[in-house]
Structure formats: C-alpha cells, structure tokens
Copies of this chain bind each other. A is one copy, B any other.
C-alpha cells in the first residue's frame, strides 16, 4: 500500500469534525494519514488528539515542516507525540548540529519516524532549494532519517533522490492530483508513497476515489516496470 491521504480541511469548515468524518469514510484503507500545520495551529494538541484517535493506519503524520533549532523542534514534536502522531516532517535545510541531530534523538526516544523535506514543487524552490539539493540529500543521509519528501510533480527529482539515497530511505511524494502528477508517476520514479489530498478528500465518494487511485497506481507501476 503506497497511498497517504492528506487531510487538509477547506477554509470555513469545522476542521476536526471534517477530518474525523473523512477518516471514518476511508475505513483505514490508506497506508497513512497526514495532518498539516493549519489544522494543528487552529485546534492545538487537543483537537489533533481527537483526529488522531480515530485513525488506525500504519502512518500518522504531522506535516509540521519544522525548521528551527533542535530544542524548539523537539518541544513541538513532544507535543504532537502526545496526541498520538508517529511520524513528523521537518526540513533538511536547517542541518544537523544544533538542529536535526537533537530532533532525531527526541524522535528516537519517542518512537517517532523522522521525514525530511529535501525539495519542494513550487516555482520558488528553484531559487534557493535547487542550488543545495545534494546538500539536502546529504543531510537526510547524515541524520539517517526514516524518509525524505520529494515532489511527484518533478519525477526527475524523485529519481535522482532515489539514486543518491539508495534503498535505505523511504521517499514520500506529494503533488499527485490537484497539483498535476498522476497516481503512480512518483512510484515509477522511485517513491514509496504518494501523498494525495483533494483528489480523494473532495471527491463525492472518497472511498471509491481511494480505490480508483490504488488501481491507477497499480496499472501505472506495472506499465513502467514492464511487468
């Protein structure tokens, strides 16, 4: 199972209830759920705990995109761990000493998987992140993170990431659906998981949309691997 569903409530809805209803309808079919910073900031640990308590998937991800000194990132991670999260997303660009090194220690202590953003898909990423892409992958290796985030919308970046990281790291790829990539594109380029939001969460029948995505992922992967 290579599908993670991003739960990003539309503006104006009651976020916790919206998430719980979706999780309920998706029947724990995905490999994981990802909750973003907007919901967490709105609702705090209390609201996050309510949402997480109804999940029963392998991955329960807080997409915090942490980018601070180690002490601050650790405090935030402890807070979301209390809510039941088992995977945290931080940026690779803050580096190891004084930052991710300390975060990793706290993640290990709490049994949290650490995933690092090594590239992003928006146009502005070309200005700074592109220049230091290999350094960001180096940080993923040095820290021995559980995984890296690489955009499905730029399959060449996923391919290069896989080549450089080898098979000891998971690759999680957002950008499928509303942002333009097709289900299976990132998997074919070497990703382990595709993160999909609106294509599923805004569908009239989210569970049916989930099965459609899984079927398309399978077809695409069989085609690209020539099996």
Contacts and interface: CB of A to CB of B under 8 A. Distances in A.
A125 B40 CA distance: 27
A122 B98 contact: yes
A118 to B, nearest CB: 11
Given A37-B68, A67-B65, A68-B37, A135 B124 contact: no
Contacts of A162: none
A41 interface: yes
A100 to B, nearest CB: 7
Contacts of A100: 124
Interface in A109-162: 117, 120-129, 131-132, 135-136, 138-139
A93 interface: yes
B38 A128 contact: no
A87 to B, nearest CB: 16
Contact of A98 (B68, B93, B96, B123): B123
B36 A124 contact: no
A79 interface: yes
Which secondary structure dominates chain A's binding surface? helix
A15 to B, nearest CB: 10
Given A44-B43, A79-B42, A99 B70 contact: no
Interface residues of A, number: 54
Nearest to A37: B76
Given A41-B80, A72-B36, A129 B93 contact: yes
A41 B38 contact: no
A11 interface: yes
Contact of A131 (B43, B127, B131): B131
Interface of A: 8, 11, 36-38, 40-47, 64-70, 72, 75-76, 78-80, 91-101, 117, 120-129, 131-132, 135-136, 138-139
27 contacts: A37-B68, A38-B79, A41-B41, A42-B45, A42-B79, A44-B46, A65-B66, A65-B68, A67-B67, A69-B120, A93-B128, A94-B120, A94-B128, A95-B122, A95-B125, A95-B126, A96-B127, A97-B124, A98-B124, A99-B120, A99-B122, A99-B125, A101-B124, A128-B135, A128-B136, A131-B132, A132-B132
